[in-house]
Amino acid sequence: MNCLRLVSTDPFFNLAAEEYLLKNTAEDFLVLGINSPSVIIGKHQIAHRETDTQFVTENNIPVIRRISGGGTVYHDFGNVNFSFIISTIKGRQVDFRKYTLPVIEFLASEGIIASLGGKNDLRVDNLKISGNAEHVYRERVLHHGTLLFDADLGRLRHSLRKDTSGYSTRAVESNPSHVLNLKEKTVRIRNAEELRERMLNYFLGIQGNTSFNLTPAEENMIGSLAFSKYRTWEWNYAYGPEYRLNRRFSINNNNYTCKISVREGIIRECAIEGPEEIAEAAKKLSGCRHMPEEMLRIFHKGKIEISEPDIFKFF
C-alpha cells in the first residue's frame, strides 16, 4: 500500500486528491491529511440544514460536500484525516469494521483503547473521536475518517446547526454525538501533526507498504478538479435533494412567518406572512439562490432594509 502524507492543508484540494486517486489509479493508498478549518458534509445532505449558516459565513469557514455519504464533520488543524483507497471485490466493498481496525490497532500501539461504535464511529470511553464514511467506485472503495486530537470543540459545536426542525427534506441527517479530543488520553503526542507522523511511520513499518508522493502533473490535475468541482456553489450547495424551510422570526419588532421551497439550490417558492412591504418582496426571491448575500441583495434592491444578521433568519 502506498502511504501519502498530504502537504496541502487546503480542504478543497485534499478532498479532490481522494477522488482523483480513487478514480484514476489502480493501486492501494493510505492518505493522511490535515485541513484548515472547514465543515465537510455528506454527499446527500443539505448544507444549510447541517451547518449554522450565520456562524460559518461570518467566520469564513467553507462548507464542502464530499463524495461519500454519512453525516457532517468539522475539520481544523487539530484534526487528522485518514483515507484508505483500496481495490476490492464487488459485493464485499462496504465494510467499516475492516477499514477502521488498522486505525484501532495504531491507536492501541500508542496506548489509546478505541472501538467501533454507533453506526460508523470510533469511540474512546464511549465518546466519539472519529466519524467514518465510504464511497464505492467500480471495483474500488474510498473509506475515510477523522481523528480528533486537539480540535477547537467550541468552533465545532458552533459550526453545526443545533435545531433542524424547520427543514423538511428526504436528505440524510447527521446524528450528533458527544466528542473527545485524543490529547486528553495521551501525554506521548503533542499535537495533530505529531499524531499524523506517528501514524504514517506505523503504517510504513508494515511489510509491503511504501512512501508515496504526488507528481507535479498529478497535483495539477487534482488542483483542476478542486477548482471545477469542490470550490463550486453547484456542488456544495445546489447538489442534493430539494427541501422546504418554515421559519417564525421577528425583524424590527415585526413578526413574520416564512415558507421557502428550494430545489437545486434555487428558491422556487417563497411566502412571507407579516407586514405587507416585506411580504411583497418575498415574491422577488423566486429564482434566487438560497444564499445570504444573494437574498440580501434582492431585499436591498427592493428598498427593504434588512440587516446582515437578520438575513440569516431565512436559513
Reported for 255-259, long-range contacts at CB under 8 A and 24+ positions apart, including other chains, are 258/282, 258/313, 258/314
Cβ within 8 Å of residue 12, ≥6 positions away? 62, 64, 226, 227, 230, 231
pTM of the model: 0.94
The answer to whether residue 237 scores a pLDDT higher than 90 is yes
CATH number attached to the domain at 2-236? 3.30.930.10
**Residue 202 DSSP code:** H
3 state SS for 151-186: CCHHHHHHHECCCCCCEEECCCCCCCCCECCHHHHC
Span 43-71, average pLDDT? 97
Question: Would you list the DSSP string of 270-294?
Answer: EEEESSHHHHHHHGGGTTSBS-HHH
- Regarding predicted confidence, which is higher, 230 or 254? 230
pLDDT at 138 over 70: yes
**Domain layout of the chain by residue ranges:** 2-236, 243-314
Q: What's the chain's average pLDDT?
A: 94
- Whether 303 shows a pLDDT value over 90: the answer reads no
Mean pLDDT value of segment 264-275: 92
* Mean pLDDT to the nearest integer, 97-105: 93
Average pLDDT over residues 294-299: 92
- Check residue 284 and give its pLDDT: 87
| 1 pLDDT above the threshold of 90 | yes
* Predicted local distance difference test score (pLDDT) of residue 191: 97
* DSSP letters for 80-113: EEEEEEEE--TTS---HHHHHHHHHHHHHHTT--
DSSP state of 51: B
- Length of the chain in terms of residues written: 315
In this model, does residue 230 exceed pLDDT 80?
yes
pLDDT reading at 91 higher than 80? no
- How confident is the model over 218-222, as a mean pLDDT? 98
- How far apart CA 150 and CA 175 sit, in angstroms, is 22
CATH superfamily of 243-314: CO dehydrogenase flavoprotein, C-terminal domain (3.30.390.50)
Percentage with pLDDT > 70 across the chain? 99
Q: Beta strands 2-5 and 29-33: pairing type? A: parallel
Nearest by Cα to 171 from 13, 41, 3, 30: 41
pLDDT of residue 97: 86
Provide the pLDDT for residue 181: 97
Reported confidence tier of residue 189, pLDDT bands at 50, 70, 90: very high
Given a cut of 70, whether residue 20 has pLDDT beyond it is: yes
Distance, CA of 90 to CA of 103 (rounded, Å): 24
User: Based on C-alpha coordinates, what's the Rg of the chain?
Assistant: 21
Cross-sheet strand order for the sheet of 29-33: 115-117, 121-124, 127-137, 140-148, 79-87, 29-33, 2-5, 210-212
196-209 average pLDDT score: 97
pLDDT of residue 262: 98
For residue 71, the model assigns a pLDDT of: 93
Checking if the pLDDT of 59 tops 70, the result is yes
* Cα separation, 48 vs 233, whole angstroms: 12
Q: Quick one: DSSP state of residue 312?
A: G
pLDDT band at 232 (very low <50, low <70, confident <90, very high): very high
Give me the sign of the Cα torsion angle 120, 123, 127, 130: negative
Question: How far is 26 from 21, CA to CA, in rounded Å?
Answer: 8
- Whether residue 251 is predicted with pLDDT greater than 90 in this model: the reply is no
